[in-house]
Amino acid sequence: MIAMDETDISFFKDGLRLDGRREDQLRPIKMEVGVLARADGSCYIEMGGNKVIAAVYGPREVHPRHLQDVTRAIVRYRYNMASFSVEERKRPGPDRRSYELSKVSREALEPVILTNYFPRSVIDVFVEVLQADAGTRTAGINAAAVALADAGIPMKSMISSCAAGKVADTIVLDPMKEEDNFGQADLPIAMTPNGDITLMQMDGRLSIDEFHKAVEMAMKGAQDIYQMQRKALVDKYSQLEGEPHREEVQACD
Amino acid sequence: MTNVISEIKKDFIYNLVLKGERADGRSFDQYREISIERDVIRKAEGSALVKLGLSQVLVGIKMQPGEPFPDSPNRGVIITNAELVPLASPMFEPGPPNEVGIELARLVDRGVRESKAVNLEALCVIPGKQVWIIFIDVHILDDCGNILDAASLGAIAALLTTKVPANKFGLGEDYMLPVRDIPIATTAIEFNDVLMLDPGTDEESIANTKLTVISSTDGSICGMQKSGTGTLKPEQIYRIVDIACEKAKEIREKFLEV
């Protein structure tokens, strides 16, 4: 890695960011639902340079059994980075960062999952980061939420996640690698379309006013991502749209 | 790893909240009594025993010269660890740290790191070759709720008493660790749209959402984390941030600024 001083980089050129985005613009996003054959639900997402794939298995039997809860399903979330996903090879396997991200990501999704429908079972969410470019946890949560829906897990709503950051004293949406590495703050959130926040993290330094601005910007970004998630699901299941015939409903039973 | 709490106790706390009260008689934004004892471990370069009500956390600082990270050749290194030892709670088990312990350590670390409390540039001995490594080790002794705030308070209090052991390693005279900011973590729980600061164990187990705000001396925010399986409205977050920064200022002035 190249050692660089924060002041060495100029983050804006002619009012635009290094990749040509406006301050409040997301990176291009691509989503595909149902990309894995074995999983009960899956989703592949590209958010800028991030390539992340999420799979959902379950509800299924809990192993080890002592973890089971007689009143509800437990949710497990495993965030994992491929060793080749970053500039310098990452040692395979979980590290402290991925433990923390797995915990907060699980807690970002659990509020909307109707776990009480499936006592004594587990809903496993596996997230693999194939290519990382800042914002992998938000990409992972977005993909995981869609994969949960694809798996047919009953949910109160979708969860959409997006970060805001601060670079060169400016609040920006969805920071990319350079902005994240040499920026002044990073604030990932996740929320329901109603604006209930389920993930809230921050590091760096923000005044209270900047904090408000960053939260509002990230929430707007998440709202836009929600529309894309919705579209990705509708695209896959569009043949099921509209009133099904009664015979069809019976055939499903 | 949350405590099991009986429905009847839950009901009791819930009814108190409706009346605007807490089980131990505190107001919603009131901390339990705080005491900080410094330099309790002579073998450590710095240490502090923090009592937050009945919660007890001991933080020890050890320092040694070592290699810098390749991406920051002129900067000292901070390594934070937390041990949730089984003597501290019936819920803690021996073994490698679980995700709760890891999250705690990373949050304590985030406060110290993001506030730039320690002048890491001043801890460079030979650029690219030798820098000081600071080990912040958090030992939870008694978990009666809100150990995170106690641990971060312990970390900064211990850093403030830390003497760099230069003499021991043949690097000149010992000197005080250069500390230039005092980050304070303040945690609130949300329960029935009531925000409560400094939750005790029972309060922690009835609420499913916690928000920790770390603020620095100039009143800016340098870290934040929501934990738990609930949701928060942005307005609730803004309210917690306001109260938390206010409280952090009080704690900082009372206990850490000389």
Shortest alpha-carbon distance between residue B181 and chain A (Å): 13
Chain B residue nearest residue A198, CA to CA: B231
pLDDT in tens, B148-174: 999 999 999 999 999 999 999 999 999
**How wide is the angle at C-alpha B44 spanned by C-alphas B41 and B50, nearest 5°?**
50
CA angle (A185, A217, A235) in 5-degree steps: 120
Confidence check on the interface: ipTM exceeds 0.95, yes or no: no
The answer to the question of residue B23 being in a domain is no
Residue B112 domain-assigned (yes or no): yes
**Mean pLDDT confidence for A72-90:** 94
Residue A240 reports pLDDT greater than 70: no
CA separation for the pair A138, A191 (Å, rounded): 11
Asked if the model's pLDDT at residue B195 lies above 50, the reply is yes
Query: What confidence tier does B3 reach under pLDDT thresholds 50, 70, 90?
Result: low
Q: Say what percent of chain B tops pLDDT 90.
A: 83
Q: Is the pLDDT of residue B193 over 90?
A: no
Two tokens at B236?
């609730």
Please state, as a whole number, how many other Cβ atoms lie within 10 Å of the Cβ of residue B127: 11
Q: Is residue B9 part of a domain?
A: no
Mean pLDDT of chain B, nearest integer: 93
% of chain B residues with pLDDT over 70: 98
Q: Which domain holds residue B139?
A: 33-256
Tell me, which fold does domain A20-234 have in CATH? Ribosomal Protein S5; domain 2 (3.30.230)
B220-240: pLDDT as tens digits: 999 999 999 999 999 999 999
Residue B24 lies in a domain: no
The bridge status of strand B55-66 relative to strand B46-52 is antiparallel
CA B252 – CA B244 distance, rounded (Å): 12
Pairwise CA distance, residues B216 & B180, whole Å? 10
Whole-angstrom distance, CA of residue A162 vs CA of residue A201: 11
pLDDT tens string B11-51: 898 899 889 999 999 999 999 999 999 999 999 999 999 99
Q: Is the pLDDT of residue A3 over 90?
A: no
A5-32 pLDDT, tens per residue? 445 568 898 889 999 999 999 999 999 9
Indicate the pLDDT class of residue A2, thresholds 50, 70 and 90.
very low
Q: Where are the domains of chain A?
A: 20-234
Q: Which of B243, B187, B246 is nearest to B219 (CA)?
A: B246
Nearest CA in chain A to B108: A203
CB pairs under 8 A between A and B: 101
Q: Is the pLDDT of residue B138 over 80?
A: yes
Q: With respect to residue B45, please indicate whether it lies within any of the assigned structural domains.
A: yes
Q: From CA B31, how far away is CA B202, in angstroms rounded?
A: 15
Nearest residue to B199 via CA among B26, B10, B65, B20: B26
Is position B15 within any domain? no
Region of residue B219 (phi > 0: left; psi between -120 and 50: alpha; otherwise: beta):
left
Residue A37 scores a pLDDT above 70: yes
Candidates A59, A62, A104; CA nearest to B209 is A104
CA–CA distance, B112 with B135 (Å, rounded to integer): 12
Distance CA A107, CA A185 (A): 22
Please state whether beta strands A29-33 and A41-47 pair in parallel, antiparallel, or not at all (unpaired): antiparallel
pLDDT at A244: 52
Report whether pLDDT(B86) > 50.
Answer: yes
> What are B202's two structure tokens?
């029972």
User: What CATH number does residue B240 fall under?
Assistant: 3.30.230.70
Contacts of B216 in chain A (CB under 8 A): 205
Sign of the CA dihedral running A130, A133, A135, A139: negative
CB burial of residue A230 (10 Å; 0-12, 13-18, 19+): middle
Of A88-92, A239-243, B86-90, B235-239, the poorest mean pLDDT is in A239-243
List the single residue in B70, B106, B220 with the smallest CB-CB distance to A205: B220
Q: For chain A, say whether B216 makes contact (Cβ under 8 Å).
A: yes
pLDDT digits (tens, 9 = 90+) for A181-238: 999 999 999 999 999 999 999 999 999 999 999 999 999 999 999 999 999 999 999 8
Give the count of beta carbons closer than 10 Å to the beta carbon of residue A128. 18
Identify the residue among A79, A201, A220 best suited for mutation to test binding to B, counting B beta carbons within 10 A and taking the highest: A201
The 10 Å CB-count burial string (b at 16+, else e) for A176-204 is bbbbbebbbbbbbbbbbeeebbbbbbbbb
Interface mutation vs chain A, best among B221, B239, B240, B246, most A CBs within 10 Å: B221
Res B29: pLDDT = 93
For residue B96, what is the nearest residue in chain A, using CA coordinates?
A: A96
Q: What is the mean pLDDT of residues A64-69?
A: 93
Q: How many domains does chain B have?
A: 1
